[in-house]
Amino acid sequence: MNHTKFYKYLKNSDLKPNTIKKYVSEYNIFEDLFKNDSEFLINPEQTIKTLLKEYTNNKTLVAKFNIILLLLKLYHESNENYETIKAKYVVEYTRIKDTIKEIQEKQEPTEKQLERQISTEQNKQIIDILKKAVKPIKTIEDLIPLRNLIIYLYQDKQQGRGDYITSHFTYEIPDNTLYNYFYLDKINKKAYYIQNHHKTDRKLVQQKFTLDNTLYRLFTRLFNAYKKLKFKNQYAFYQDNGKIQMNTDNLSKLYKRLGENTINAPLSIQVMRTQKSSNDIEKLIPLMETARKQGHNLNTTTKHYLKKGLKKL
């Protein structure tokens, strides 16, 4: 494929930086996956077969087909068979999305979620092991156990997506929204996560989260160590070499390893978030059934119909 055409499209688009990064990553993956077939886009039967063999996660496949449809339009819209080729991809794309919807409506855990769920006892065991691994910090290598403990505790307490991993840290209230920030208020001994950028930027405004005292103490220790070791940047989290900022891909891999290295079981941030969200599912099921009977979804029920203080009927 013509690299220039693809990158020119991205440059002139209004896509968010993170989306552009994902598109570039997918593009490079396709370049490698189909390196022996320069015409793979116009060979939908074989391309679909390859994707289904290579990837088993339906959400991953949806993302792949999104890029496939974009690239097909970008490179082959003038092809006389464009609409026919596109239709074949759309049929498979729709089938996969319908399967996802069907699974979601059943509210049954996936195989991965069942495999990677952990108990409260295992969670405590992981935290205890990570705490014991923390040591006095004299070198960059000594930072790693403290960083790992903070990441695991933050995920356990805040349950957020991975956008925090590229945050900067500050000791003053940020006067800009360039980044997400961990703000340490030394006077009041409080730690805050200030979220300016997240997956749903178009829907959510800035969010500010107060962190517990344990995280305040740990972040203070981490950022003091950065100063002691003369780190030049204000990144909240560094990769093991102490030079490069962590990213969401590093985070997912690290989180998985934290489980493998402590309880001999791989962890998943998505599974953890699903477990936390499912703690009170028994209370939600009747409300969801009411929403279904009334002909709308749970979001409509909670936003427009759910009121405090009304008599039970």
Q: How far apart (Å, rounded) are the C-alpha atoms in residues 158 and 161? A: 9
For position 169, what pLDDT does the model report? Answer: 96
pLDDT by 10s per residue, the chain, length 313 = 678 888 898 988 888 887 888 888 888 889 888 887 779 999 999 999 999 999 888 989 999 999 999 999 999 999 999 999 999 999 999 999 999 888 877 778 888 888 899 999 999 999 999 999 999 999 999 999 999 999 999 999 999 889 999 999 999 999 988 899 999 999 999 999 999 987 655 556 788 999 999 999 999 999 999 999 999 899 999 999 999 999 988 999 999 999 999 999 999 999 999 999 888 888 888 888 888 888 888 888 888 888 888 888 8
pTM of the predicted model over 0.85: no
Beta bridge partners of 185: 190
For position 201, what pLDDT does the model report? Answer: 54
Q: How far apart (Å, rounded) are the C-alpha atoms in residues 123 and 119? A: 6
For position 227, what pLDDT does the model report? Answer: 95
Beta bridge partners of 191: 184, 211
Q: How far apart (Å, rounded) are the C-alpha atoms in residues 20 and 266? A: 29
φ/ψ bin of 255: left (φ > 0), alpha (ψ from -120 to 50), beta (otherwise)? alpha
